[in-house]
């Protein structure tokens, strides 16, 4: 997968938090069947790396990545487990260099104009906008499009089916991240059919502008 393609794989990237790595493969299969191949497994639980490894081995049609990456060690461990992309909530030069050296696409997190400019200065054009709603939402991103049209974003945080289309209509948004297709009760019940249906609805959303 080319680095430039990460934001264009699907309009929505499911943000997955798993407590049981045994759920990883059926969940990934449901999401892929629903049309969402890019799957971000966050490193918020002890099961995360095992979940990434299981998906990478058993669901090759999925593009599994690691989220909440905040240290160089996590970069190394995630790629070793099979992560095909990396997402961070924020960035430092140390973390950025580790992600650049990883050999896989990455989305460093930003929430201010200065952070965006700093990444552009370092040759990075694709970023995560987080926490999207709390940091200014669509109005903020719309304001960035004029002076910084070369930056493209995956907004995450506070996004659901009601406001996702507003984000996806912006020319500088390639996709959004969210959890609404992964309701807690469906995960607890292992209702993969319901998750597949919600994923299919999310995959039907489309981005505007120069993006998907």
Quick one: residue 11, left, alpha or beta (phi over 0 = left, psi -120 to 50 = alpha)?
A: alpha
Task: Report, as an integer, the average pLDDT of 46-55.
Answer: 98
What digits encode the pLDDT tens for the residues 147-191? 999 999 999 999 999 999 999 999 999 999 999 999 999 999 999
Alpha helices, DSSP H only, in the chain? 24-33, 48-58, 72-81, 93-101, 113-121, 137-145, 164-168, 184-189, 192-203
What digits encode the pLDDT tens for the residues 66-104? 999 999 999 999 999 999 999 999 999 999 999 999 999
CA atoms of 175 and 177, how far apart (whole Å): 7
pLDDT of residue 1: 54
CA atoms of 98 and 42, how far apart (whole Å): 18
- Active site members: 40, 128
State the average pLDDT for the chain.
Answer: 95
């Amino acid at each position: 997968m080319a680095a430039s393609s990460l934001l264009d794989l699907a309009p929505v990237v499911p943000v997955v938090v798993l407590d049981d790595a045994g759920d990883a493969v059926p969940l990934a299969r449901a999401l892929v069947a629903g049309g969402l191949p890019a799957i971000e497994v966050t490193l918020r639980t002890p099961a995360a790396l095992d979940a990434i490894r299981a998906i990478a081995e058993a669901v090759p049609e999925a593009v599994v990545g690691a989220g909440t990456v905040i240290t160089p060690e996590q970069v190394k461990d995630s790629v070793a487990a099979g992560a095909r992309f990396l997402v961070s909530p924020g960035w430092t030069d140390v973390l950025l260099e580790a992600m650049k050296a990883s050999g896989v696409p990455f989305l460093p997190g930003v929430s201010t104009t200065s952070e965006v400019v700093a990444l552009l200065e370092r040759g990075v054009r694709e970023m995560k906008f987080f926490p999207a709603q709390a940091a200014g939402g669509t109005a903020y991103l719309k304001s960035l499009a004029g002076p910084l049209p070369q930056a493209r974003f995956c907004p995450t945080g506070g996004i659901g089916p009601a406001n996702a289309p507003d984000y996806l209509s912006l020319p500088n948004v390639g996709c959004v991240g969210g959890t609404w297709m992964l309701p807690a009760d469906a995960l607890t019940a292992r209702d993969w059919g319901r998750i597949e249906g919600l994923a299919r609805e999310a995959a039907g959303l489309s981005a505007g502008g120069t993006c998907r």
